[in-house]
Each structure stands twice: as C-alpha cells, then as structure tokens.
Amino acid sequence: MPEREVWVTTLTMRGSLGEEEFDAWAAALYGLSDEASLAQSSGQVYVTVWFEDARDHLHALRLAEELLQKSGVRPRLPVIGAESRTEMLYTRNAEEHSLPELVGVSEVGAILGISRQRVHQLVRAALIPAPLAILRGGFVWDAASMRSCAESRKGARRWRDVRADAVAFGIINGEH
C-alpha cells in the first residue's frame, strides 16, 4: 500500500484573543494533537494542524474542523479561510521569499532605461507606479512592478517630455 502524504491544514478565523483566552485555546488544541499550532496577527487567528492520517486535502479540512469542534474553541470566531496542502508544498512555500525585491531610484532608472533625474520627474508627474515607501534615503519600489511598467512601455515611444506625457495621460490639461 502506498505511503500517505502528510497534509498541513490552516484554518483562519476573524477576531483576536486575549492572552488568557489564547493560552486556553492553545492548551485545548495541544491536548488533542501535538501536531497543532496556534497563532494570531492583525485581527486573525490561525490554527495549523499536520495530519498523517488524511486521505486528501478535503479529508484534512474535515479533520481540522472536527479538531476545533472537539477542542471547544470554535464557536466564538468565524472561520474565514481554510487551506490544506501537502507537507512538501507547505515546506516549499514557507522557504520562499516573502518580501518583494526592492529597488531605489538608480535601479528604477536602469530598469526603465532612463536617468535618475528622469525617474524623479516621472514620479512627480505620477507617470510611473508610486513608490512603496519614501525613506530618508529616497524612494523604494517593488522591482517586479517596475519591470512590468518597463514591459508595458515596450514598443511605445521613448519617455518624452513630462508635460507632454501628463497631457497624453489626462493628468493635466494641455492648455497654458
């Protein structure tokens, strides 16, 4: 008989728990399964459970819901999301980078094939994606969005006069 895959299921609930309630939930869950974890962040509570005895992702989801029912922690917070993946996929996703590649003005200029000064002009005219952040050291963008911007301009005319671009995009009126 082929070896079953291990399924990792995460149920997401809307709400938050006080410290005592969190500890009570954790104790109840861990009392039923030593393969469970509990976390909360940004107004959401996450219960993640590893199942070696699940047949497939749907069975793993049912087992996770049953675990919550048995623990008695489920009724207060509504489940707003559920995800079940094989342990291999779960581990691979956990190891992937979760932060975007960040670039500054010089790198954006290189991506777009323009000078740093031209990047500043295009930012002021709102003709390129807005930076993710403005730090003391300057603007910061997601590199993927800037590459997408450059790709969308392929075959188009070169970056022209900011005023002409702003008129063409309807950002300003062309009248003097």
Contacts 24+ apart (CB under 8 A), 13-20: 13/44, 13/45, 13/46, 13/47, 13/77, 13/78, 13/79, 13/80, 14/43, 14/44, 14/77, 14/78, 14/80, 15/43, 15/44, 15/45, 15/76, 15/77, 15/78, 16/40, 16/43, 16/44, 16/45, 17/45
The matching CATH number, chosen from 1.10.3470, 3.30.300, 2.30.29, 1.10.1660, for 102-168 is 1.10.1660
The per-residue pLDDT for range 8-63, each reduced to its tens digit, is 999 998 888 889 989 998 998 888 888 999 999 888 999 999 999 898 989 999 99
Domain-wise residue ranges, the chain: 7-95, 102-168
Percentage of the chain with pLDDT > 70? 84
Q: What's the pLDDT at 7?
A: 93
The per-residue pLDDT for range 126-152, each reduced to its tens digit, is 888 889 899 888 999 999 889 988 887
Fold of 7-95: Alpha-Beta Plaits (3.30.70)
In this prediction the pTM is 0.54
Cα 128 to Cα 122: distance, rounded to the nearest angstrom: 6
The per-residue pLDDT for range 48-99, each reduced to its tens digit, is 999 998 989 899 999 998 888 888 765 678 888 999 999 998 888 877 777 7
